[in-house]
Amino acid sequence: MVKVMIRSQLYVPSNNKKMVGKSQSLDTDMIIFDLEDAVPETEKNGAREFILEFIQTNKINKKIAIRINDMDTGYFYHDIIAINSAEKKPDYLVVPKSELGLSHIYRHLGIPLIALIETAEGMNKLDDVISQEGVEMVSWAAGDLSFSAGGNIEGYSSNLYLKTKIIISARAHGIKAMDKVYFDLNNLDGFADECKESRSLGYEGKQVIHPSQVAIANQIFSPSREEIEWAKKIIKEYRASSSSGRGAINVDGQLVDSVHIRMAESILKNSGEKP
C-alpha cells in the first residue's frame, strides 16, 4: 500500500472567494482554509459562513483543514459552534497557539487536530500538548513563537534546536510533523533549502503560503529517483548476502546494515515502488 503523503499544506484566506476557488486546481496535498490571521476581524463572521457553505456545496478532491481562531478569542466559540452544526465537516482542524485543552475540541467535534505551536507555553509543554487525544499532526510558527518569547522572527526561523525538538517529540508520540511557513515569497531558492533541511530532520512536509511554493515542497518531500534506485540496490544486495549470515555489507564503499534497510524500505513504501 502506498503511504498517503502530505507534503504541502497551503493556507488560503477564507474571506478571499477568488483564492478559495483557485485553490481547488492547485497540486497541494492539503488546503488549510484560514479563519484566523489571514482574515481581518470585520470579515471573520462572513468568512466562516462562506467557507463552511463552500465545503458543503463543492466536491473537493484533496484533504481539507480549517484553521480556527485561538481559544482566547470569542471567534473561537463561534467557529466551534458553526463547524459542529455543519453537515459536512473538514478532515482536520488547525488549532493556533496550541497549549492544553485540545482534547475537549476533539471530543466535541470528532475532527482530528493539527496542533500549531506558537507560544512559549506550548513549546515548554510540547510533549503534553501533542499527546492529547485527537492530535494527529503538529506544526509551528516562528513569528508568533518569537513574539511570545520576546525574540525576533529571524532568530527563531533559523533555530535548529526548535525544529529538531518538534520532530523528535512528534515521532516519539507517533504523529506527523509539518515544518513552518516560509515568509520570503521572492526567495524560492531559500524556501527549497529550508525544505531540504526539514526533510533531512524527518519532517513529512511543509506548510506553505503561496502557490509558487507548492511544487517545490511536493518535489523535495517526495522520494527522488536516485533515492528509489539506492533503496532498491541495497535491499537487493542485502538480501543476497543475508544467507551468509552477515549483518552488514559494503555497497559502493558505504557500510550498510539493518537501519539502512529499514530506511530503504520506508523510501519504497512512500514511493509505491517494489524492491
Residue 29 has pLDDT above 60, yes or no: yes
* pLDDT, mean of residues 2-16: 88
User: Phi first, then psi: what are they for 68, rounded to 5°?
Assistant: -80, 170
Residue 272 has pLDDT above 70, yes or no: no
Render pLDDT for 160-212 as a digit per residue (tens, 0 to 9): 999 999 999 999 999 999 999 999 999 999 999 999 999 999 999 999 999 99
Mean pLDDT of the chain: 91
Render pLDDT for 88-109 as a digit per residue (tens, 0 to 9): 999 999 999 999 999 999 999 9
Render pLDDT for 38-64 as a digit per residue (tens, 0 to 9): 999 999 999 999 999 999 999 999 999
Residue 250 has pLDDT above 90, yes or no: no
Tell me, what's the pLDDT at 275?
A: 67
Calculate what percentage of the chain has a pLDDT beyond 70.
88
Tell me, what's the pLDDT at 3?
A: 54
* pLDDT, mean of residues 244-254: 67
Q: Which domains does the chain have, with CATH numbers?
A: 8-220 (3.20.20.60), 225-271 (no CATH)
Residue 219 has pLDDT above 90, yes or no: yes
pLDDT band with cut points at 50, 70 and 90 for residue 243 = low
Residue 122 has pLDDT above 50, yes or no: yes
Tell me, what's the pLDDT at 2?
A: 44
Tell me, what's the pLDDT at 138?
A: 98
pLDDT band with cut points at 50, 70 and 90 for residue 223 = confident
Residue 1 has pLDDT above 50, yes or no: no
